[in-house]
Copies of this chain bind each other. A is one copy, B any other.
Amino acid sequence: MTDTRRTIPSDQAVPPLFAGIDLGGTNIKIGLVDDRGALLGYQSVPTEIHEGPEAGARRMADVVRQIADGAGIGMANVARVGLATPGTMDIPAGRLIKPVNLPGWNDFPIRDRVSHHCGRPVTYANDADAAAYGEFWLGAGREMHSLVMLTLGTGVGGGIIIGDLSIAGEHSHGSELGHIIIDIGPNARMCGCGQTGHLEAYCSATAVVRRTEEALQAGRASSLSAAIAGGAELTALLIDQHAEREDPLAVEIVDETARLLGIGIVTLLHTVDPSGVLIGGAMTFGREGSPVGRKFIERIRQEVRRRALPVVAAAARINYAELGSDAGFFGAAGLARADFHRKPE
C-alpha cells in the first residue's frame, strides 16, 4: 500500500483544495488534498457513535478545520467537502436512512449538517462508490477511463466509475455489486440480505469462513482443525495463513472464492465493459501483499479468461486496488472536486 500519509507543504499545493471525509462505524478518516490529489493533511478520529449524528457532523467539521488551519490554509480556502458514508442512504436528499454500521444515526440529514458546520458545500456519496473513485483518481485505476471495483470485507461492496461518473443509481442503490445473482440453483447460498445466490454469499470474508466451517463439519481434513482446537478463531486471515502452508482445504477455499468472484466479474464485464476491474477491501488473501493473494488474483483472471466473450477476455485488466483504507477519503475529495469542476460555486 502506498504511504498516502506523506503530505506536501501548503505552499506547493495547486488550488482549488478539497476535503474528503470517510465516515465508518469505527473511525472517521479525513484528508485535505489539492487539485492534483496531493495530501496536505490527514487525521483519523474515533466515530463515537453513541454521541449521535449531530455531534458527529460537528466533529467532522472541527477536524476539517483543524487540518486546514494546521496546513496554514483556513476553511475558507477549502473549495468543497466530500462526504462518504455507508448505506442505506438517500444520496440526492443527503440523508442517512438506516446505516447498519451507525446504529442510532437513522434518518439524519448528514450532508446539510456537515455543510452547516463547515460552512462549505458538501458532495455526498456512498463509501464504496467513493473508494472506487479514489482508486480511479489516484490509485490502481488512475490510467483507466472506467472501472469496476469490488471491495471484499465482512460483505462485498462495489463501485462503478465510467469516465468520471460514479454510478450511484437513481435510488442510491447503484453498484450494489455484492447483490448480483450468480446462482439460481436449489443449493444457492443465503446472503446477509436474506436473498439467495448473491455474490456476497460466496465471496465475502463472512461467506469464506462459513464455507470453510461447513467443509470442516462435513469431516474434511485440514490443519485448520488443530488450530481451531488450539483456540484460534476461524477467520479469512487464518485461512490465508493455512493456504500459504499448502493446507489442501484452505487452498481449495481460496481457489473456489477466486473462481466464484471471477464469475461475478464476467457479468460485470459484460454489463459495463470497463477499462479494468479492481479488487480491494480488508479480506486478507484479497490483497497484493499476501503470497496467497497473488495466486488468488491469478485464479480470478483465469476464470475471467475462460468465461468472458473473447474481446472482453483479452482486454480485461484485473488488479488489486492500491490505496487501502485511504481510498474512501481520497475518493470523497475527488467526487467533491468533480462536482466543483463541473459546476463551481
Which residues from 128 to 177 on chain A have a C-beta closer than 8 Å to any C-beta of chain B? 145-146, 160, 162-163, 165, 167-177
The interface residues of chain B lying within 8 Å CB-to-CB of A7 are none
Give A84-114 as 1s and 0s: 1 = Cβ < 8 Å from B's Cβ atoms. Answer: 0000100000000000000000000000000
**Once the chains are docked, how many angstroms separate the CA of A171 from the CA of B311?**
7
**Once the chains are docked, how many angstroms separate the CA of A112 from the CA of B212?**
56
Q: Is A260 in contact with B315, judged by CB distance below 8 angstroms?
A: no
**Once the chains are docked, how many angstroms separate the CA of A154 from the CA of B88?**
39
**Once the chains are docked, how many angstroms separate the CA of A339 from the CA of B183?**
39
Write the nearest CB–CB distance from A219 to chain B, whole angstroms. 22
Which residues from 291 to 336 on chain A have a C-beta closer than 8 Å to any C-beta of chain B? 307, 309, 311-312, 315
Q: Is A170 in contact with B315, judged by CB distance below 8 angstroms?
A: yes
**Counting CB contacts under 8 A, is A179 at the interface?**
yes
Which residues from 237 to 276 on chain A have a C-beta closer than 8 Å to any C-beta of chain B? 260, 263-264, 266-275
Q: Is A311 in contact with B172, judged by CB distance below 8 angstroms?
A: yes
Q: Which residue of chain B is the closest to A175 with respect to CB atoms?
A: B271
**Once the chains are docked, how many angstroms separate the CA of A182 from the CA of B196?**
12
Q: Is B182 in contact with A185, judged by CB distance below 8 angstroms?
A: no
**Counting CB contacts under 8 A, is A49 at the interface?**
no
Given known contacts A185-B185, A273-B169, A275-B170, A267 and B309 CB-to-CB distance under 8 angstroms = no
Given known contacts A185-B184, A272-B167, A173 and B266 CB-to-CB distance under 8 angstroms = no
Q: What are 25 inter-chain pairs, A to B, with CB distance below 8 A?
A: A162-B165, A162-B167, A165-B165, A167-B271, A169-B272, A170-B274, A170-B275, A171-B311, A171-B315, A173-B270, A173-B311, A173-B312, A174-B271, A174-B273, A176-B271, A179-B266, A179-B270, A181-B263, A181-B267, A181-B307, A183-B183, A184-B260, A185-B187, A267-B267, A271-B271
